[in-house]
Amino acid sequence: MIRSMTGYSRAESVVDGINVLVELKTVNSKYLNLDVNSGETFAELELDVSRYIKERIKRGTVKARVEISLIEDSGLLKPDFGTAISIYTSLKAIAERLGLDGEVSIDSMTRFKEILRSRPSEELARRVWNAVVPVLEKALESLNRDREREGLNLLKALEDYLDKLQQISSQLKEMSDGMVGYYREFLKKRVEKLFDGELEENRLEQEVVLLAEKADISEELVRLDSHIASFREILSNDDDCGVQLDFICQELHRELSTVASKSKKLEISALSVEGRTLVNKLREQVQNIE
């Protein structure tokens, strides 16, 4: 099933005395771009979370927010006595030098965040990661369900555009069947204007054949049908198909552009323009598929 690159999910749970909240937001992008924020205290988690997400999401911009709060005391905060002594001494010196009243108290000391440092032990880091994994997995499952629902809407739109494109291909085939007769009449009219109808019939036929060969679009139409069939097959069989479908859109556009450049028939040129408009709409939808 195809998935949109746009989605949102949120999961929260308490595991082993650790409250974990994971929020995921995704938008479309040509490549996979990860932005993981787990806060300063547990910044080392960001690399592990990124690796975990990479195994489950192939394309898009992913913003992940991981919040950790400890329900019980785990010895996370460690006093930095060296820094505390230096701050205390400095404050005392300032007060004496400037003749300020008041004592240096714990209240004044705690304004300096450097005194208390967050230093998770290896054991705590392991516990936190083990708590994050099930919540992250739950958030990813919810995210993918959301993206698959959006993918169903994309699939319906893509199939509608493909059906219309197939109709245009069929119409182009019907119009191209009578091209030799069309060019014969086209050249006759030109000859009558330029040479008063004096060009030999033999020469006229040679010119008709030459012009018909140059303007033959049968190969382009065969490839057009082949690309449409490939598009449908990839849609039905591949999950991570956005890049492949984007490439096929380029090929569809190329074939229709060649048809327009070869043909002198206004009806064919008009159909080619209509077809390229459909391909552009296809591509707009494809660019939101993972």
> pLDDT by residue (tens digit) across 178-196?
665 666 666 666 665 555 5
Predicted confidence at residue 54, as pLDDT, reads 95
pLDDT tens-digit profile of 7-17? 999 999 998 88
The helix/strand/coil state of 289 is strand
Assess whether 82 and 209 both reside in one domain: no
Predicted confidence at residue 53, as pLDDT, reads 97
Q: How far apart are CA 27 and CA 34, in angstroms?
A: 11
State how far the alpha carbon of 283 is from the alpha carbons of 90, 244, 250, 252, in Å.
65, 11, 8, 10
Q: Residue 107: give the domain boundaries.
A: 77-117
Assess whether 253 and 182 both reside in one domain: yes
Assess whether 193 and 256 both reside in one domain: yes
Predicted confidence at residue 108, as pLDDT, reads 81
Predicted confidence at residue 237, as pLDDT, reads 79
> Which residues does the chain have with pLDDT short of 70?
73-77, 178-215, 238-239
Assess whether 234 and 178 both reside in one domain: yes
Q: How many helices (H) and strands (E) does the chain have?
A: 9, 6
Assess whether 266 and 179 both reside in one domain: yes
132: CATH: 3.30.230.70
Is there a contact between 15 and 135 (Cβ–Cβ < 8 Å)? Answer: yes
Look at residue 18 and tell me if it is in a domain.
yes
Residue ranges of E strands in the chain: 7-15, 18-27, 32-37, 60-70, 77-79, 116-118
Assess whether 11 and 82 both reside in one domain: no
Is there a contact between 140 and 56 (Cβ–Cβ < 8 Å)? Answer: yes
Closest listed residue to residue 248, CA positions, set 263, 235, 262: 235
Assess whether 14 and 141 both reside in one domain: yes
How many domains does one find in the chain?
3
- Tally Cβ neighbours within 10 Å of residue 73: 8
Look at residue 1 and tell me if it is in a domain.
no
Look at residue 39 and tell me if it is in a domain.
yes
Look at residue 42 and tell me if it is in a domain.
yes
Assess whether 184 and 69 both reside in one domain: no
State how far the alpha carbon of 115 is from the alpha carbons of 92, 109, 223, 288, in Å.
16, 8, 71, 49
Is there a contact between 166 and 282 (Cβ–Cβ < 8 Å)? Answer: no
Is there a contact between 213 and 189 (Cβ–Cβ < 8 Å)? Answer: no
Assess whether 174 and 252 both reside in one domain: yes
Assess whether 112 and 185 both reside in one domain: no
Assess whether 175 and 140 both reside in one domain: no
Look at residue 2 and tell me if it is in a domain.
no
Instruction: Give the amino acid at 181.
Output: G
Q: How far apart are CA 118 and CA 110, in angstroms?
A: 14
Look at residue 254 and tell me if it is in a domain.
yes
Q: How far apart are CA 41 and CA 117, in angstroms?
A: 9
Is there a contact between 263 and 269 (Cβ–Cβ < 8 Å)? Answer: yes
Q: How far apart are CA 26 and CA 148, in angstroms?
A: 13
Q: How far apart are CA 161 and CA 164, in angstroms?
A: 5
Assess whether 49 and 109 both reside in one domain: no
165: CATH: 1.20.140
Place of tokens 């049908």: 225
